Amino acid sequence: MYQEFFSHSDHLIWPLMGLIIFVSIFIGVLAYVFLGMRDREKIDEIAALPLELDSGTDLAATGHATGGPSK
């Protein structure tokens, strides 16, 4: 149905395609992330990856991890 609107160019349909792709993916990602990813334990584990201590220098300079879980 958009063909009439874009009848003056062979190429102007491309941006519309891009927009459709983005909106579809964005809604999909949002839905997936906030509805599909429900394993809180796993999420917290990954979110805390940087806080795993190195031996030696890191131990000396780092305090206790007291932050709450990742949202």
Query: SS3 letters for 24-64?
Result: HHHHHHHHHHHHHCCCHHHHHHHHCHHHCCCCCHHHHHCCC
50 binds another protein (CB under 8 A): yes
Least distance between another protein and beta carbon 9 (Å): 8
11 binds another protein (CB under 8 A): yes
Site of interaction with another protein (CB under 8 A): 1-4, 9, 11-22, 24-26, 28-30, 32-34, 36-39, 42-52, 54-58, 60-71
